[in-house]
Structure 1
Amino acid sequence: MYDHRKIGRELGLFDSDPLIGAGLPYWLPAGAAVRRALESYISEVERRAGYQQVYSPVLGKRELYEISGHWAKYHDDMYPPMDIGEEQLVLRPSICPHHALMFRSRSHSYRELPLRFSELGGQYRAELSGAIAGLTRVRAMQLNDAHIFCRLDQVAGEAESALALINQAYADLQISPSRYVLALPDESLNSPQSNYVGDAESWAHAVEILREVLKNAGIDYEDAPGDAAFYGPKIDIQMMDSAGREFSLSTVQIDFHQPERFGLEYIGADGNKHRPVMVHRAIVGSIERAVAQLIEVHGGAFPAWLAPVQLVVLPISDDEEKVAAEVSRRALDRGLRVEIAHADEGSLGARIRENRWAPYQAVIGAREAAAGELAIRERDGNRHDPAPIGAVLDEIAERCVPGALRRRSELSSPAAVRSGA
């Protein structure tokens, strides 16, 4: 594996500055392109799976996190409150309390459930300087988060759907987990000094559901006592970095606690009020960790749909520069990320080597310019015969769509995802 910190800086993906602070990387244009592609992919996959995108503030009153339980159980990892007039505001350590309030802001019928809120939002952790590591351990992150509010009889199906979306994303990203973990409470669950909230019966039910989800998915997993969230058990999907350190990337969690704390309700078929269950899930976790893993697995040679530059146009001489500009314009119109390696930037061979990270290179000589054709060279060295410009660009654009988004009808609903279609 590659070290994402070294490769990321060499390729101009991200960097940091002491004046901004440790654990606060910034994204350079190439890295921002990868990030936007990843975010767009997740947003579209979620939309087709029935999620509704929302936005919420990165600040909240201290009281919000006292209600959710984060302040009591998690405040050592939170930034100190900011005194603003009579209020104390906190940078949020988690997005779930905001989504709980969104659910509570409207009345809901059982017919609306499951209600799936997704957000790509910022959250903040007061990490010590010694714990910070590149993109995998940061103080400010963008989390691909979602919270599903559902009836008890829907929980298993929603957890299964979430796990299926995660595994589909891994296939499209061409990454593989090191292991799956069922994070459980430790023996302190029933003690007065417990770090966990809620009753033992709810915890046991949630654990039983997640075990069944993993079994139905045919996934081998390991129990991890003591690794549960303070409000519930979870499935953690683990990755390994280049130094052999393991970290969690994606998660599926069942939460009976926060619906109770926030007084969440829906009107059931019987006309009475009922308490929903929250399913927390993150398909790729934080964008920072996801990109770190992608760099370490692919070493900069990203899948075509994620590459910062998908097509490099190489005019052999100044005579083909005008045609190269036209090819670039037509590629941009098809949504491709394209650059021109101009003839005065070096020999053709040197320009090909300098742009070796691009999935596709289009060489334009006098013959191709006169015929309105492109000769494509792929990153793996495979070469194609010259073909009409439009047809070549159409084929590249189709190849630059991730697999999950090509299967348009098959990912149109959570039921389709659960079925494994």
Structure 2
Amino acid sequence: MDPDHSTVGRALDLFDTTPAVGAGLPLWLPDGAVVRAELERFALEQALASGCRRVYTPVLAKRELFERSGHWDKFSADMWPEMVVGGESFVLRPANCPHHTQVFAARPHSHRDLPVRLAELGAMFRSELSGVLGGLSRVRQINLDDAHSFCRPDQVVAEVRLALDAIRHCYAVLGIEVGRFRLSVRGPGGRYLGDDEQWRTAEAQLREALDDAGLAYEVAPGEAAFYGPKIDVQVTDRRGREETLSTVQVDSNQPERFGLTYVGADGRKHRPVMVHRGLLSSMERLTAILLESSAGRLPTWLTPVQVRVLPVGEQHAGPGRELAAELTAAGIRAVVDERGSLPSRVREAHERRDAYVAVLGDAEVAAGSVAVSAPGLPSRAVLPRAELRRRLAEEVTDRRRERAVAAGR
């Protein structure tokens, strides 16, 4: 199978597009929805572990919100056309951060409250031209794992370090190799918000965080966001193309533009700094990278069908359904396949990239065991049913990258 993620994703029934919906607007099919939901759950766990609180905000807002944030002036050509309703102009958001400024502004804050960390896996919209759209890597709606920390100036470096540590942990779990860390700063001729002192301070804070973490990095003039410098985590796909997956950005401009404040220890109002964090990037881009790097053979915790139960004959169908029910009750995604010959069902399990195949014949039913194999690997084992449940639950809970159950590990 061609390892291009678009070919793999369609062959495995993970996603598709239709003319009726439109290019760049993929439909996540049931198996693809499983993959995305697991990634979203992982992202939320990591956000909560790093002190974030979850929020939900609308996918559209008045145009004036984005005028105030600077997005309209910078990105209006790439945003969807405004919609006039009741004499008011609304637009689909190109970013979550303006909404999160309003969440912070909704309640007063003391210096003791900070940092206030907000996380949302929200939909954002880009009016991409049809000629550049493709699969999941370039789409018109992205669903971004996004977080924003509103903190005191003396907390910025620690917040950036927290984000970098979380990114590196997630990459280790997912098996993603960092190509390089890039410090993206202003370049000549660009249109940027804020004054020189704000930029010098923000760049120094990012450098300090990278140095504290012991990370080598390259400086990239002209690659900064329009409101602040950022750290880009660059990865390389199987064709050698480099792209940004995760980012950490320091922003003093949006807090200023929206008049955000907190009460300091001196009783006066002070301006917070906003640290933007894209931990896992968009679900679309991340899924594309994972599919291509694995040729569709995802780790067990991400695989849509974790166990395909194959009764050898009709007389084994009842015990096969019982096993599938036991696994499902234990939180394992299991299906029973009774169609056709055993070799054809095994072959289909290989083609579908199922994590494990569990075969039940006379010997297994009599012994209360199951013959387990991992398609694509030489792993084989005969296990008691209870032991299979236990090992599978551990592998999924631990989010192991390797198939360990059939190998006895």
| TM range, smaller chain | over 0.9
1:327 aligns with 2:328: no
Q: What amino acid sits opposite 1:352 in the alignment?
A: V
Distance 1:117 1:246 in 2: 29
Residue 382 of structure 1: aligned partner: 379
1:54 aligns with 2:55: yes
Deviates more, 1:208-217 or 1:318-327: 208-217
**Structure 1 unaligned regions, length at least 5:** 189-193, 405-421
Residue 354 of structure 1: aligned partner: 348
Deviates more, 1:307-316 or 1:93-102: 307-316
Matches within 5 A, 1:57-76: 57-76=58-77
Q: What amino acid sits opposite 2:379 in the alignment?
A: N
**Structure 2 unaligned regions, length at least 5:** 401-409
Q: What amino acid sits opposite 1:328 in the alignment?
A: A
Retained in 1: the 8 A contact 2:150–2:273?
yes
Distance 2:230 2:62 in 1: 27
Identity over aligned residues, as a percent? 48
1:161 aligns with 2:155: no
Distance 1:300 1:72, change over 3 A: same
Distance 1:47 1:19 in 2: 38
Matches within 5 A, 1:142-181: 142-181=143-182
- Where 1:103 maps in the other structure, the secondary structure is helix
1:210 aligns with 2:206: yes
Residue of 217, 224, 228 corresponding to 1:228: 224
User: Displacement, 1:403?
Assistant: 4.8
Residue of 336, 359, 363 corresponding to 2:359: 363
Residue of 340, 343, 348 corresponding to 1:345: 340
Distance 2:182 2:150 in 1: 24
Deviates more, 1:233-242 or 1:308-317: 233-242
Retained in 2: the 8 A contact 1:361–1:377?
yes
- Where 2:167 maps in the other structure, the secondary structure is helix
Q: What amino acid sits opposite 1:256 in the alignment?
A: S
- Where 1:166 maps in the other structure, the secondary structure is helix
Distance 1:49 1:318 in 2: 51
Distance 1:113 1:330 in 2: 46
User: Displacement, 1:287?
Assistant: 0.3
Task: Count residues with an aligned counterpart.
Answer: 396
Deviations 1:332-359 (A, max 9, x none): 11111111121x322x233222112122
* Length-normalised TM-score, structure 1: 0.91
Deviates more, 1:272-281 or 1:362-371: 362-371
Residue 110 of structure 1: aligned partner: 111
Residue 11 of structure 1: aligned partner: 12
Residue 410 of structure 1: aligned partner: none
Distance 2:286 2:27 in 1: 15
- What is the root-mean-square deviation in Å for CA atoms of aligned residues? 1.4
- Where 2:223 maps in the other structure, the secondary structure is coil
Retained in 2: the 8 A contact 1:241–1:293?
yes
Deviates more, 1:238-247 or 1:371-380: 238-247
Q: What amino acid sits opposite 1:214 in the alignment?
A: L
Retained in 1: the 8 A contact 2:300–2:399?
no
Retained in 2: the 8 A contact 1:126–1:139?
yes
- Where 2:359 maps in the other structure, the secondary structure is strand
User: Displacement, 1:389?
Assistant: 1.1
Q: What amino acid sits opposite 2:261 in the alignment?
A: E
User: Displacement, 1:391?
Assistant: 2.1
Retained in 2: the 8 A contact 1:172–1:402?
no
Segments of 4+ moved more than 4 angstroms = none
Residue 85 of structure 1: aligned partner: 86
Deviates more, 1:162-171 or 1:210-219: 210-219
Retained in 2: the 8 A contact 1:174–1:303?
no
Distance 2:53 2:219 in 1: 32
Matches within 5 A, 1:218-257: 218-257=214-253
Q: What amino acid sits opposite 2:336 in the alignment?
A: I
Residue 406 of structure 2: aligned partner: none
- Where 2:142 maps in the other structure, the secondary structure is strand
Retained in 1: the 8 A contact 2:234–2:242?
yes
Distance 1:243 1:130 in 2: 20
